[in-house]
Structure 1
Amino acid sequence: MPVVQDIRNTRFQCVGAAGAFLFDFPSHEGDYADGGPSGCGVSISGGLKMVEQSGDGLSGDRAKIAGMSLTELKDQYRADLHVDYVAFWKAHGVDMDVGGFMCEMDHDGTLVTTNKSMWYQGRGLWTHTFLYNNFGDEWHLEASRKAVGFMLKFGRDDNGDWVHGLDAQGNVISPPDGIGYTGLFVAEGLMEYARATGESEPMDLAVESFWRACEIYDDQSRQSPQGYVPNSYPGMRLQGFEMVTVVLLSQLVQEVEDPKLQSRLSQAVEVVLEKFWNPEYSLNNEILYHSYDRPHDENEDFIYLGHAIETMWMLLHEAIRAQDQSLFNLAADRLRRHMEVAWDDVYGGFFRAMHVNGALTYDKVLWLQEEVLIGTMILMEHTDWAWPVEWFNRTFHYVQEKFPLKKYGYALWQMGGDRKVSYQPHTSRKGNYHHPRHLMHNLLAIDRMIERNGKPSDLWGSR
């Protein structure tokens, strides 16, 4: 129920016929003696205003999100993470005997194969050690210990490179990839594991794995065809590689003082913002030649919207770490641009890819929707801007309606589908990275917002 509070010298959010906007409440009585700003529809006199409190007593700018109080939103995220995600993975997919993670499962947890992709060993290691580091539960640390043991015993070839795939017992079934992605994911997992245990060896190996991945990536003769892009070339540059480099190094430089790592992080930020950015379309390309020049074929107007959106929230995190306001604002603007282009005005949700002068890729993948939720949550936590709230609300309700499998009798969320996200009665893979990462990052952000009584941190002031 609305209550009257004395709020001299505070910020006021006005919602009325003219839309939602912010203004600073006057410090002197009578400044708005004839009522609030035009279109506000709120009567103000004597330095007082009407403030609507949320059900949990919070009255800040972010006291209610997606129609829920912050406490209610926290409860939803906690249930999605601990009751749904963690419970499923404790019952299925974690090999507590040999070690490692098996992701090729159907909705009910039945293993389609017992293979262990090294991508998902590194990703699963990061997820479970991040869970332990931020939410506790020794089970996650034990699962991580066993996974590290499996990876170190079986995961590298005779040259020391991380292989791409193993069977359940550790026999190699696919060699190292030709880009270096595997080394990046393994490095991120080992880094988080070192944070959990305090051991130096995993951190050293994380750094070593990163530089070996870069060595592979920088080989201009490497052949590494990618099925999701129109054309592949020897030594081609991928926005996706730079994206993972940003998220890895933004964490790693906080643990390891190394000017070379910082320099490579700065390089990744620069090429994402300047080389992959296509000024004609105001969108990021996914593929460039090895020289970082733009192709003159089908890749020239190919935009992998999912990676672009994912990259921009990672740049927001890096801007916060580096206290770089210009980077923060630029990443926010480009996040919004890609979101607006990717949104499906007919059925809702975000498209994964497009040709600017051609067709859209009409399927809907869960991970992309969740990257939007991470990015807009970062902006809701640290700014008082209205547009992130609007986009978060829209996306949150869309995702909660379309992707959870609870209504079909299963745990977890459907990982993707057609344009309408039609139900798929069977699947062959469950993700152990993007989905829990979204839930963990946003749950931690909600906790911080509750601690601030619903107020954004407003790192550098409103814009």
Structure 2
Amino acid sequence: MNIFEYQEIYRANLLDSVVPFWVNNSEDKEYGGFFTCLDEKGEVYDTDKFMWLQCRQIWTLSMLYNQVEKKQEWLDMAIRGAEFVKNNGRDAEGNWYFSLTREGKPITQPYNIFSDCFAAMGFAQLYTATKNEEYKAIALNTFYNILKKRNDSKGIYNKQVPGTRPLQSFSLPMILCNLVLELEHILKPELVEETIQLGIHSVMDVFYKPEFGLILENVAPDGSFVDSFEGRLVNPGHAIESMWFIMDLASRAGDKQLIKKAVDITIDTIEYGWDRQHGGIFYFLDVKGNPPQQLEWDQKLWWVHIEAVISLLKGYYFTGDERCWQWFEKIHAYIWKHFVDDRNGEWFGYLNRRGEVLLPAKGGKWKGCFHIPRGLYQGWKVLQAIEEKRSVLHR
């Protein structure tokens, strides 16, 4: 298959299948916000509203409006969603709840800082589309709150006994590498640079362990390895996703060495995480080869595979490394064989190890309108950039 054909596949799947699935089925026209618990055909099977998924959908709709087409339907839906979460989604201190009832009453306390991360991201993208200063203020205040809490993100909701086995988690430093670029247009330049440098250091020097050739999910406060379930945990999807964040930051700085390192880590992680028996990338692994604690360790998840597509295409665009293209074609083939639903639209999210659909739902508590549309958009546009680069080289 040539690059033009791949471009068309990603564009068409985004605009003709995935986006219509959410636009047609997810909006709660009675109470506001979005339903994310949608079955195979898009029917609502649960009405709870999860703040991080609400804000992710606000981001997606706003991004499509800003980057693809000034389609009023997308922007209006994003604004209606934003008004619902603005009015219901935060506690008195401005922390974002994890979940609400359909009507907007809080169910789960703001224990999860990723609700805040995606609120900042969603409102910043919506500000770009609307120039509504209130949305800008919400994005900024939320971002500053994240920075205040980043060393103790769970606060009073932390279940761990202090001091026994302190750990720092990869998730937040990783997401800040992307979040800071999402908010760059509304942040002070010095804060942007400080956050970028800290993010790169955390990802590439603290959580990446050359002795394993892999990124760990949890390390000690001083960055050292902790030989426990949590300390041995590898999440290939997180590591792969973080590498395209790093590539974007390295490209911004013109740091070719850092780009190459990110490409190498991407390839090493995919080769480590690939299921040689059944295909696909494992969800969790133990860095020492022990049985992982997570019983779902061998499932194949939608977001892991679409994030791999982004990192591989960016890696190929930036470096021309043929390993990236070879792995892209292999993972693309796996995705279109197992995840994509040509009949009802969107993708299945959860496969068993053999690649069979484990849960037919298209959305839930953890899967919403975000990874797939973002990845399809990125894939489409990076493939275009690869073709343009080739055209210039062959003139």
Report the Cα offset of residue 293 of structure 1. 4.0
1:423–1:169: structure 2 CA closer, same or farther, 3 Å change rule?
same
Report the Cα offset of residue 351 of structure 1. 1.0
Fraction of identical pairs, as percent:
24
Secondary structure, counterpart of 1:112 in structure 2: strand
Q: Report what 2:20 is aligned to.
A: 87
1:456–1:353: structure 2 CA closer, same or farther, 3 Å change rule?
farther
Q: Deviations over 1:354-398 (max 9, x none)?
A: 112213621111111111100111122233221111010111111
The reply on whether 1:376 has 2:376 as its aligned counterpart is: no
Report the Cα offset of residue 164 of structure 1. 1.1
Q: Which amino acid aligns with 2:193?
A: Q
Q: Report what 2:244 is aligned to.
A: 313
In structure 1, distance between residues paired with 2:166 and 2:212: 25
Q: Report what 1:363 is aligned to.
A: 299
Q: Report what 2:208 is aligned to.
A: 277
Q: Report what 1:350 is aligned to.
A: 281
Report the Cα offset of residue 333 of structure 1. 1.3
Q: Report what 1:215 is aligned to.
A: 148
Aligned residues: 383
Q: Report what 2:135 is aligned to.
A: 202
Q: Report what 1:400 is aligned to.
A: 336
Q: Report what 2:36 is aligned to.
A: 103
In structure 2, distance between residues paired with 1:339 and 1:233: 33
Q: Deviations over 1:105-154 (max 9, x none)?
A: 11111111111100111111111111111111111100111111111111
Q: What is the correspondence of 1:134-213 to structure 2 with a 5 Å cutoff?
A: 134-136=67-69, 137-177=71-111, 179-213=112-146
Report the Cα offset of residue 71 of structure 1. 2.4
Contact 1:156 1:163 in 2 (8 A): yes
| TM-score (normalizing by structure 2) | 0.90
Structure 2: segments with no counterpart, 5+ residues: none
Contact 2:98 2:110 in 1 (8 A): yes
Q: What is the correspondence of 1:322-341 to structure 2 with a 5 Å cutoff?
A: 322-341=253-272
Secondary structure, counterpart of 2:107 in structure 1: strand
Report the Cα offset of residue 417 of structure 1. 1.4
> Which among 364, 370, 395 is matched to residue 433 of structure 1?
370
Report the Cα offset of residue 263 of structure 1. 0.7
1:77–1:455: structure 2 CA closer, same or farther, 3 Å change rule?
farther
1:124–1:234: structure 2 CA closer, same or farther, 3 Å change rule?
farther
In structure 2, distance between residues paired with 1:226 and 1:325: 42
Q: Which amino acid aligns with 1:142?
A: D
In structure 2, distance between residues paired with 1:254 and 1:325: 24
Structure 1: segments with no counterpart, 5+ residues: 1-66, 458-463
Report the Cα offset of residue 453 of structure 1. 5.2
Q: Which amino acid aligns with 2:65?
A: Y
In structure 2, distance between residues paired with 1:330 and 1:447: 24
Contact 1:164 1:176 in 2 (8 A): yes
The reply on whether 1:124 has 2:57 as its aligned counterpart is: yes
Secondary structure, counterpart of 1:120 in structure 2: helix
Q: Report what 1:298 is aligned to.
A: 229
Contact 1:306 1:368 in 2 (8 A): yes
Q: Which amino acid aligns with 1:359?
A: P
Report the Cα offset of residue 191 of structure 1. 1.0
In structure 1, distance between residues paired with 2:373 and 2:203: 25
RMSD of equivalent CA atoms: 2.4
1:401–1:260: structure 2 CA closer, same or farther, 3 Å change rule?
same
In structure 2, distance between residues paired with 1:153 and 1:393: 45
Secondary structure, counterpart of 2:238 in structure 1: helix
In structure 2, distance between residues paired with 1:280 and 1:125: 41
Contact 1:377 1:388 in 2 (8 A): yes
In structure 2, distance between residues paired with 1:224 and 1:341: 34
Q: Deviations over 1:8-47 (max 9, x none)?
A: xxxxxxxxxxxxxxxxxxxxxxxxxxxxxxxxxxxxxxxx
Contact 2:99 2:109 in 1 (8 A): yes
Q: Which has the larger radius of gyration?
A: 1
Contact 1:283 1:337 in 2 (8 A): yes
Secondary structure, counterpart of 2:196 in structure 1: helix
Secondary structure, counterpart of 1:337 in structure 2: helix
Q: Report what 1:25 is aligned to.
A: none
Contact 2:236 2:283 in 1 (8 A): yes
1:224–1:175: structure 2 CA closer, same or farther, 3 Å change rule?
closer
> Larger % of helix: which?
2
